[in-house]
Structure 1
Amino acid sequence: MKTLHLINAESLLPIISYVKLQKLDVTALLRESGLPFDLADADCSIKAVANYQYWQFIHLCQKQLNWPDFGYRMAKDIKLASMKPIFKTVCDKSLTLHDGLIMLIRFMSHLSTHATYDLAYQKSGVWFYGTGVEIESDALKPLEQMSLANMIGFVRYYLGDTWQPEAITIQHQDSSGETRKYFPQALVTELQAKTGIFINTAHVGSINARFNLASMLADSDLNVNFSKKLYQVLSQYAGLGFPTINKLSELIGLSLRQIQRRLVKEEVSYREILNQVKFDIARKQLSQSNTKIIDISQQLDYTDASHFSRAFKKMANMSPKQYREIH
């Protein structure tokens, strides 16, 4: 067994659509993988599948097509469709590549308790790598190709579509040299413990050209309902890490003094707005989902479930558990 980060199981749906275009018998492949063959239907409502079935399906598709670069080719042809919603969630709210990497790690940790991304810092840059999921050796190659393409695709959101990492580590033996074909500028090292890409220090702090958060506050009506706009901005950070007021100042291009002056004018503090955001998100989660209380507390940046429960009780006059039972 080897370990590799994987994207959400719902990513199987665009992959199925892609495989259909290759004229494969998708229903037979799903059945052989142990997956519900309803997944082949356009109106299928299935949202999650077992990881090993997902891996088996990818492996069987590669075998039938006999493409050594199946994972890379598929990621390129479907334009990373499986990860784009996640990329957008993160990239729209991060000012620099480093901000985005940190947010992505947090966000993916909420989607899966056993698979995530991580960073390893060095003087000349950072390693961005996937970790946590065990994969059968036979299925590793196409899945690792997909995962690597997704990681590089994420960085390209910030650095442009032509960017290539300086170095790549992969877990499988790439005898056909597909990784080097797709990323000729990178130093590729095989049979490593983790799948990762190296990002130079000069690029880690690069500004996100797609960043648009500042426009939500920096308009001609900046002095009108500033606290309401700020509430809307902060609501988007659940699961990504709520910014401090100093970080917010950097994100929206206003000085700390300017932000505080506007909040004083509306007789509210940054902490009060943030607490209200957390409380409203918690109420929605408790009443409309089965998310565990400890998971809600992590998404809202509380140190532990007890801290979250105390904060919630202060606002609602009842514990999260009591609120869920009533609603």
Structure 2
Amino acid sequence: MTSQSFNRIKIPTAFWVGISQTGIKADDVIRQAGLPISILTEQVPVSTRQYFTICKVFSELIDDPAAGIKLMLAMNTAQMPPSLLAPYHARDFHDALFRVARYKQLFAPERLHITEEGEHCTIELELLSDEINAPPLLVDATWSGLMELGRGGTGKLLKAHLVELSRPSDDMQFHQAYFGCPILVNAKYNRLTLYRNDLYLPFITYNAELLEILVPALEQSINEQQSSRSITEKIKWILRRSLTGGRPDIRIVSSELGISERTLQRRLTKEATSFHQLLSEARREMAREYLANPSLDIQEVAYLLGYEDQSSFYRAFRIWEGETPANWRVKQWTSDSKPQANSDLSL
């Protein structure tokens, strides 16, 4: 998990088409998520929380533990955005995986960490969000998306070595059959482990000419995104440093950045965020850190976060986590569940 904010997700058309292919109407998902229809009709960017809500609502509507895999199988590669299309035309599976890891920051609130060791390659999923857990749909879609990438590119029915899921045990029969490997649930991390030899299989879909067109545009988009995010990262750093025992306002932050309040507000608006939202995010991150420290009581935590009274902190925390700070703290301290293996294959 990271403190980086990711709040400009433009959901690709392929996602909505894939939902429709599963028999669920995309506008039903939007409506039940309580979100504006312009997200669907005009591709208006959504926040991480809204994106997670969409995943959750779709999962509830389809009511299938393998919803993420089936959603990915229903997607049409031709309708994917350039950031997803480019890896399909890489030189080999290894090249494709690293392109996915690099370009994923353009369309999803997650990061992939790739580690190669011995006979295996392990890919770990990290959220670029202050949410605690990734929606199961998102995790399954990510791992099955990589499998579809390898299988489609090589033309071979590749199998994984191991899939680790941080969620509790569920019906894993479809997962086992799809990935062709054991599924470890209640794991500490969400990971996909592949056979390293498979990474160097050439892609029959390799298209150097198309990559020459797509890659420069994607790299430019990454550079622009990283440049624009720097202002929010600086603000979050100032807020976290200045919060203890007080509440920094936009005047103080703009002064530290050496720009006017109006310029700061304009840049935040361009980033689809606000000073109030960044302050709330900084407080939420620090609240979790403070509550994990048993030497601090809740009244002290409220003070350190700049709240005038404990009840104000309680109200804010309920909005963030859906429960009281005391209950959240107890759950964190008693979270000692052990991973369980589910290795029966149904191939």
Q: Same fold (TM over 0.5)?
A: yes
Displacement of 1:65 after TM fit? Answer: 2.9
Q: Does 1:31 align with 2:41?
A: no
Displacement of 1:186 after TM fit? Answer: 0.8
1:167-182 → structure 2 map (5 Å cutoff): 167-182=162-177
1:196-275 → structure 2 map (5 Å cutoff): 196-213=191-208, 236-238=214-216
Q: Does 1:129 align with 2:128?
A: no
Task: Please give the secondary structure, in 1, of the residue aligned with 2:224.
Answer: coil
Output the amino acid matched with 1:169. E
Displacement of 1:240 after TM fit? Answer: 7.1
Q: Does 1:95 align with 2:91?
A: yes
Q: 2:70 aligns with which of 57, 70, 73?
A: 73
In the alignment, what sits opposite 1:189?
Answer: 184
Partner deviation per Cα, 1:232-252 (whole Å, 9 max, x = no partner): 9756533778xxxxxxxxxxx
Structure-2 change in CA distance of 1:75 and 1:82 (3 Å): farther
Output the amino acid matched with 1:158. G
Contact in 2 for aligned 1:97/1:155 (Cα 8 Å) = yes
C-alpha RMSD of the superposition: 3.9
**2: distance between equivalents of 1:294 and 1:149?**
31
Structure-2 change in CA distance of 1:55 and 1:188 (3 Å): same
Q: Does 1:58 align with 2:36?
A: no
Q: Does 1:105 align with 2:101?
A: yes
Output the amino acid matched with 1:75. M
Q: TM-score, normalised by structure 1?
A: 0.56
Displacement of 1:179 after TM fit? Answer: 5.0
**1: distance between equivalents of 2:34 and 2:127?**
23
Output the amino acid matched with 2:30. L
Q: Does 1:291 align with 2:224?
A: yes
**1: distance between equivalents of 2:172 and 2:226?**
47
Q: Which runs of 5+ in 2 are unaligned?
A: 230-347
Displacement of 1:184 after TM fit? Answer: 5.7
In the alignment, what sits opposite 2:295?
Answer: none
Partner deviation per Cα, 1:181-220 (whole Å, 9 max, x = no partner): 443621221122332222222212222222232xx5xxxx
**1: distance between equivalents of 2:73 and 2:187?**
24
Q: TM-score, normalised by structure 2?
A: 0.53
Output the amino acid matched with 1:151. L
**2: distance between equivalents of 1:125 and 1:175?**
26
Task: Please give the secondary structure, in 1, of the residue aligned with 2:95.
Answer: helix
Output the amino acid matched with 1:67. D
Contact in 1 for aligned 2:22/2:70 (Cα 8 Å) = no
In the alignment, what sits opposite 2:140?
Answer: 145
Displacement of 1:155 after TM fit? Answer: 2.1
Q: Sequence identity of aligned pairs in percent?
A: 11
Task: Please give the secondary structure, in 2, of the residue aligned with 1:108.
Answer: helix
Contact in 2 for aligned 1:170/1:192 (Cα 8 Å) = yes
Contact in 2 for aligned 1:12/1:54 (Cα 8 Å) = no
Structure-2 change in CA distance of 1:171 and 1:159 (3 Å): farther
**1: distance between equivalents of 2:223 and 2:215?**
20
Output the amino acid matched with 1:98. H
